[in-house]
Structure 1
Amino acid sequence: MTTNSNNEKFVLVTGGSGFIAVHCILQLLNAGYRVRTTLRSLSREAEVRAMLREGGVEAGDRLSFITAELGSDTNWSEAVSGCTYVLHVASPTPINVYKHEDEMIIPAREGVLRVLRAAREAGVKRVVLTSAVGAIVYGHKPQTEPFTENDWTDTSGKVPAYQKSKTLAERAAWDFIEKEGAGLELSVINPVGVLGPVLSADYSHSIHFLQNILEGKMAGSPKVNSSYVDVRDVADLHLRAMTNPAANGQRFIATAGESIWMVEVAKILKKHVGALGEKISTKELPNTLVRVAALTNPTAKAIIPFLGYMMNTTNEKAVRLLGWKPRSAEEAIVATAESLIRLKIVK
């Protein structure tokens, strides 16, 4: 562990069992901070500590746990007490089958406001909120220019519920800071598809499709365009946004660079995984075939709004203001595959 001025600073990381959150905790501990993290159930403490060990850190007493849920006020004041910074990473998981979009929107928005209120009352210096590129790139007419932090998803259009929830939650956060923040600082990170080394069988929903490609479960790739980023770089950007004065009041797209089509992901995997690559299809599926599958398959139905839609984004702002230097998308893809294979998650 580093011995420095961070040793007596506490950072709260919400949703400590999550993929991004665990990598944030790893980097905070390596930087010398003391970390407190929230879990919905303390029964997962051993699991989180095991993931940290897989990442090379024995947390010991520099990490503590507290029970807190986004849907309840219980324990939030205790969670933020004495903390200099808060990384609000926790968010409701995407639901493919739901009765109403409010099942995702209300918990996301109210959870953000609950954390911000507690942070303000506790005298926290800055909150870094994990939003998503979903709060930026949807509801627009097709465009070839990369999306930037100045863009906002237009929720009045046909926007998937999860992306709508991320947009409205982030909007609510900025509105709270402006009207009720009382000096509390806010920075926001908007990650694209998050890949990178998994530390257990519990990982980002962005990685499931990659696992399916590796296991040969996909006859081909739908024509879906996306940008990707390594989770280690997302965590690094959170820490930079936490302390850099230039990050206050700013949002940052976390992307490795140019967007690519899903079939390119399959080709990268096939190139790098040796014999396992025999299962990987590098065909691109016609849009009509995906639309037919969507009639009975909820996963295929969720893909429909993204078919043929360019998702290109830029990391220029994070690189310029915060000196951020992310790995390439190819490095992130390969690191993901290697970890899935090493942990024997890929069947």
Structure 2
Amino acid sequence: MADVLVTGGSGYIGGWCALALLGAGHTVRATVRDLAREPQVRATLRRAGEDDARLRVVRADLRDDEGWREAAAGCDYVLHIASPTLTRVPRHDDEMVRPAVDGTLRVLRAARDAGVRRVVMTSAIGAIAYGHAPRDTPFTERDWTNAGARIAPYQKSKTLAERAAWDFVNGEGRGLELATVNPTAVLGPVLGPDYSPSLGALARMLDGSMPALLPFATGYVDVRDVASLHLLAMTSPAAAGERFIATAGHSLWMRDVAAILRDRLGERAAKVPTREMPLFVARGLARVNPQLGSLRAILGRDLDATSAKAERVLGWKARPIEDTIAETAESLLALRR
């Protein structure tokens, strides 16, 4: 069994990765920006049925050098999951890009200097599928987002942070291994109030605050399968130096997701919208609405991707996305009670 550092231990993906690691017998060291979050992290794990005795919570912030050397000391592996977030639309891309790039380099330097064997970095489909002309074939790990195109700051930050990670390992890594996991939109049961933006969209569909469905398609994947892929990428010899897309089957339009919700939840999905917003209306709103503006580049587009590489190289398999959508909705509804 190994000692594993998980950055962003209080986050949605970080929490599920910590659960998977503890369940597999590993010892986990989880970073949080504020140690006041430690009780919440432990309570979340216990609520999910996992013993937190092999968990240690440490303070380290991607925007600060302090704490990273100590966090990585003695660890065999690092799962770098943390990524900067903003509660408002950034005035400039660098507000999100610089912390993502600099924070990634802080983690990698600390890992290298501590003698860590391998870092598994949580990247995103946002580092693969954006800024391209429309296409009929699925995106693969050979594709890279065009960071010079008109894309949202988040996708730009994920792209440039992953690029920086590969450049660092290839130039200054001194034997440190790297693998990346690039999930599509992440769904799955919630462990607490912190969850992914994709779940936020599902929650708005369920509570009726989404008046119409936006016209775009993307892949979806269960957070538990994302966690299992991180563990496979951490220990498999074949994963070193590789990228892995995590997605379940083909992409879904939002109208497809809505139809699954209505089919699986019946009356409890009564507020889920049935109407898709016309493309020209969505594009017009995206010009004036900052929240929709982040989706402007993909409106009317199908960002289909394939996880064939993860299946072939690592033996990974995702559960049916229809089951994930239903279980996600069930957990969101339970959270309201």
State if a TM-score over 0.5 links the two structures: yes
The amino acid across from 1:208 in the alignment is: G
Please name the residue that 1:300 is paired with: 292
Out of 182, 185, 190, which is 1:190 matched to? 182
- 2:112 aligned with 1:120: yes
Distance 1:294 1:287 in 2: 10
Residue identity opposite 2:41 in structure 1: V
- In structure 2, what is the equivalent of residue 142 of structure 1? 134
* Aligned residue among 152, 155, 173 for 1:163: 155
Per-residue deviation at 1:343?
A: 2.1
Residue among 216, 223, 226 paired with 1:224:
216
Query: After the TM superposition, which residues 210-249 of structure 1 pair with which residues of structure 2 at under 5 Å, given as runs?
Result: 210-249=202-241
- 4+ residue stretches of structure 1 with deviation over 4 A? none
The offset of 1:296, in angstroms, is 4.0
Tell me whether 1:311 sits opposite 2:309 in the alignment: no
C-alpha contact (below 8 Å) 1:228/1:332 kept by paired residues: no
Query: Which residue does 1:3 correspond to in 2?
Result: none
Task: Give the deviation of 1:94 after TM superposition.
Answer: 5.4
- Partner Cα separation in structure 1 for residue 56 and residue 82 of structure 2: 17
Q: 1:59 corresponds to which residue?
A: 52
Q: Is the 8 A contact 1:95 1:104 kept in 2?
A: no
Q: d(CA) in 2 for partners of 1:46 and 1:36?
A: 14
Shift in Å, 1:292: 3.5
Cα distance in 2 between the residues matched to 1:77 and 1:337: 40
Tell me, yes or no, if structure 1 residue 99 matches structure 2 residue 91.
yes
Separation (CA, whole Å) in 2 of partners of 1:97 and 1:30: 37
Is 1:256 the counterpart of 2:267? The answer is no
2:13 pairs, out of 12, 16, 20, with: 20
> For each residue in 1:254-287, what CA deviation from the matched residue of structure 2 results, as whole angstroms up to 9, or x when unmatched?
1011001011111111111232211111211101
Offset from partner CA, 1:103-126 (integer Å, 9 cap, x none): 010000001100000000000000
Task: Kindly provide the amino acid, as one letter, of the partner of residue 263 in structure 1.
Answer: R
Kindly, what percent of the aligned residue pairs are identical? 54
Maintained 8 Å contact 2:131/2:297: no
For structure 1, which segment, 269-278 or 317-326, has the greater mean C-alpha deviation from structure 2 after superposition? 269-278
Alignment root-mean-square deviation, CA: 1.2
C-alpha separation in 1, matches of 2:21 and 2:197: 23
**Which residue does 1:273 correspond to in 2?**
265
d(CA) in 1 for partners of 2:9, 2:72: 14
Task: After superposing the two structures, state which structure 1 stretch, 278-287 or 178-187, moved more.
Answer: 278-287
Instruction: Tell me how far apart the structure 2 counterparts of residues 83 and 302 of structure 1 sit (CA, whole Å).
Output: 37
1:42 equivalent among 35, 42, 46: 35
Per-residue Cα deviation, 1:201-232 (whole angstroms, up to 9, x for no partner) = 11111211100000011222010111000000
Helix, strand or coil at the partner of 1:38: strand
Amino acid at match of 1:43: A
* Counterpart for residue 337 of structure 1: 329
TM-score normalized with structure 1 length: 0.95
Q: TM-score, normalised by structure 2?
A: 0.97
Work out the CA distance in 2 between the residues paired with 1:59 and 1:212. 32
- Tell me what 1:29 maps to: 22
Question: Given residue 89 of structure 2, which amino acid in structure 1 is its aligned partner?
Answer: V
Q: State how far apart, in whole Å, the 2-side matches of 1:94 and 1:239 are.
A: 28
Q: CA separation in 1, counterparts of 2:110 and 2:289? A: 41
- For residue 161 of structure 1, report the CA deviation from its aligned partner: 1.2
Q: C-alpha displacement at 1:74, in angstroms?
A: 0.3
* Contact kept? 1:96, 1:302, Cα under 8 Å: no
Residue segments in structure 1 that go unaligned for 5+ positions in a row: 1-5
Q: State the alpha-carbon separation in 2 of the partners of residues 215 and 268 from structure 1.
A: 16
Count of residues paired in the alignment: 337
SS at 1:176 equivalent? helix
State the match for 1:204 in structure 2.
196
Higher mean C-alpha displacement, 330-339 vs 230-239: 330-339
Q: Contact conserved, 1:225 with 1:311, CA < 8 A, in 2?
A: yes
| CA displacement 1:291-317 (0-9 Å, x = unmatched) | 333354222222221111110000000
Q: What code does the residue aligned with 1:68 have?
A: A
TM superposition shift of 1:96: 5.1
Question: Secondary structure, in 3 states, of the residue corresponding to 1:273?
Answer: helix
